[in-house]
Structure 1
């Protein structure tokens, strides 16, 4: 073999070997990187456990209005805990009277619900959920209202509405509502989707009916984070949403509304 050919083959062998070694190093790096995002890496990290890092998986489903589904936001035990707190104290849900700012019964909303107390907000489980909501929404804990737990039985619903206030009475403490975290606490529900009629350009199933917009199925542990105010600081009319009629099963959910300023 000519000396020139030997040099060429030598270079090819060197480059090939280098590529193989490089590939192994790259694979090792990727595996290490993946492990750093895995659950095992955070086993002894208290904050990571509170935030459920390695479990929560965000999915942006709309930019206008801004809506994010947070898969596995709550553990099954946290869902059961909130339901157990709420069950003995459920009352017929109300809506805000735009003239007085007070809650009134209405056929617009047919669920039962209750608010956690200030004392219950100090419970370890509730504090963990509150911190998680604050971190994922990037809204300070003190800007949040007390968590409301709701139960929707068969044929119950909440017609499309806005979470931001249209009255001045409710703006006095904490200002306007900026965002909402809606958490699902039960499984095996048919219907009961959260419906955004002005989001997206497709069709979806809402309580067994085909409608225009986006529908989010209630899955235990999942949460929906959406903003009632746009990036311009103004109330966003496209954030209108509703709770579709429950066809079977019982839908439990928990809602956290967040304000512009501290509420306490």
Structure 2
């Protein structure tokens, strides 16, 4: 009986050991190939990234040109309106310096009134506080640096920009949806037009405070939109990041999708430096 038992069990045990060994080597090979594939992909992806950030030889330039090639990263957020996002446009230290130079000069923000409007009838539309500071007033040179960088990003001469409007939004404060461009039919004749706006976020915001575009891609137009509602494309403030959007088309007509506002701050505090850019040179 013992010899018969050995003859029956020995082949089964051998098959079991063979199956276990085969499974082990199969799984090991599969795992190893996955790791190898990841390593290969990782090695191959790096040169592609490096190739896209290669150094360029500068071209001969004119009297007003520059001797180096600049690369300012950006992301297109929308084509309607034309809105671009610039990560890490300024450093945390630069942002804090701008906040410090503005703190003692803050006053309740005001509005450019349409024909027939009054301060009383527009009360609550804009509840932030702010102050205007030109680059020439800043002895640290930080606003001058930021202004030059904005000119490069927009390709609009810095002489066309208004002074920086440094704004603070505390909890509950907001700016209802509005246009930065001035419609002559509502505001009367204008000597120049605001064509673009650049927002440099000077602080993070715990909750709320987004820049909103409720008419993005023609949404909510003609629906009886409540201008206090915080809807549509929303850009969350992050310290040092920039947001550029254009208020008019190249032919000079106002882009109705450039309607925008500032959502109420729910937690924290929002600081932003706004640069309005016009189609004519501005006095400093």
8 A Cα contact 1:149 1:255, kept in partner:
yes
Q: Residues of 2 paired with 1:149 and 1:137: CA distance?
A: 20
User: 2:255 & 2:106 partners in 1: Cα distance?
Assistant: 31
* Contact 2:212 2:230 (C-alpha < 8 Å) held by counterparts: no
C-alpha change, 1:102 and 1:231, in structure 2 (3 Å) is farther
SS in 2 for 1:89: coil
Instruction: State the partner residue of 2:51.
Output: 33
Note closer, same or farther for the CA distance 1:112–1:27 as it changes in structure 2 (3 Å cut): closer
Q: 57, 75, 79: which one pairs with 2:91?
A: 75
What is the aligned counterpart of 2:272 among 246, 253, 263?
A: 253
- State whether residues 135 and 144 of structure 2, in contact with CA within 8 Å, keep that contact through their aligned partners in structure 1: no
Aligned position for 1:18: none
Q: How does 1:115-134 map to 2 (within 5 A)?
A: 115-117=132-134, 119-120=136-137, 123-134=140-151
- 1:224: which partner in 2? 243
- Note the aligned Cα RMSD (angstroms): 3.3
C-alpha separation between the residues in 2 aligned to 1:103 and 1:142?
Answer: 31
1:96–1:103 CA contact under 8 A, matched in 2? no
CA-to-partner distance for each residue in 1:12-36, whole Å, 9 max, x for gaps? xxxxxxxxxxxxxx99975763563
Q: Distance in 2 between matches of 1:248 and 1:28?
A: 40
Cα 1:101–1:69 change in 2 (3 A) is: farther
Give the total of aligned pairs.
220
1:106 aligns with 2:123: yes
1:62 offset after TM fit, Å? 0.6
Q: Which runs of 5+ in 2 are unaligned?
A: 1-43, 57-65, 221-227
Tell whether 2:230 aligns with 1:214.
Answer: no
Gaps of 5+ in 1: 1-25, 39-44, 204-208
Question: Given the superposition, is the C-alpha separation of residues 27 and 217 from structure 1 closer, same or farther in structure 2, using an over 3 Å criterion?
Answer: closer
Deviation at 1:120, TM superposition (A): 1.6
Tell me, yes or no, if the aligned pair for 1:177 and 1:259 is still in contact at 8 Å: yes
Question: Normalising to structure 2: TM-score of the pair?
Answer: 0.69
Task: Give yes or no for the alignment of 1:140 onto 2:157.
Answer: yes
Q: 1:84 aligns with which of 86, 100, 103?
A: 100
In the alignment, is the contact (CA less than 8 A) between 1:189 and 1:218 conserved in 2?
Answer: no
Give deviations 1:196-236, integer Å, cap 9, x for gaps: 00114899xxxxx9964200001111111000001332111
Alpha-carbon deviation of 1:139? 0.8
**Aligned position for 1:160:** 177
Q: Between Structure 1 and Structure 2, which shows a larger proportion of strand residues?
A: 1
* Change in 2 beyond 3 A, CA 1:90/1:100: farther
- DSSP-derived class of the 1:95 partner: coil
Q: 1:103 to 1:148 in 2, by over 3 A?
A: farther
Q: 1:233 to 1:75 in 2, by over 3 A?
A: same
Distance 1:98 1:32, change over 3 A: closer
CA contact (8 A) 1:94 1:106 kept: no
Q: Distance in 1 between matches of 2:157 and 2:119?
A: 26
